[in-house]
Amino acid sequence: MRMHDKCLPCVVNQAIKVANITGINTKEELLREVFAFQEYRGIDLSPANISVFQSLIIEKGYNNVKAEVGDATDLCNVKDNSFDVVYKLWRNVKWQM
């Protein structure tokens, strides 16, 4: 499924409505249900950052998330049309999963 990044607010609103109807009670449950149909890949130059991220992936049980060491500004090893959106995050961004 391809989704334009401007559609994200609408998707989130729909997810909240579904959560209210279905009785999903935690953020983790909601994230797992909403994003289960997608695959995600985290790329970072730092093996230490990837190690932390992989630990979080395992801890949270996200089967559709992968983390790998690499240069996210050089995607020549990524197959064409294998992703829909690329986000670049700057230093000091704190992730809360």
Of residues 49 and 17, more confidently modeled: 49
Report which of residues 80 and 93 the model is more confident about: 80
Threshold 0.75, pTM exceeds: no
Q: Provide mean pLDDT across the span 25-41.
A: 76
Give me Rg for the CA atoms of the chain. 15
Rounded Cα–Cα distance for residues 57 and 47 (Å): 15
Domain boundaries, the chain: 1-38, 39-80
Residues of the chain above pLDDT 90, percent: 7
Q: Please give the distance of CA 84 from its chain centroid, rounded to a whole number.
A: 12
Mean predicted confidence (pLDDT) in 21-44: 77
Could you give the residue ranges of the DSSP H alpha helices within 40-80? 47-60
Say if residues 51 and 62 touch (Cβ distance below 8 Å): no
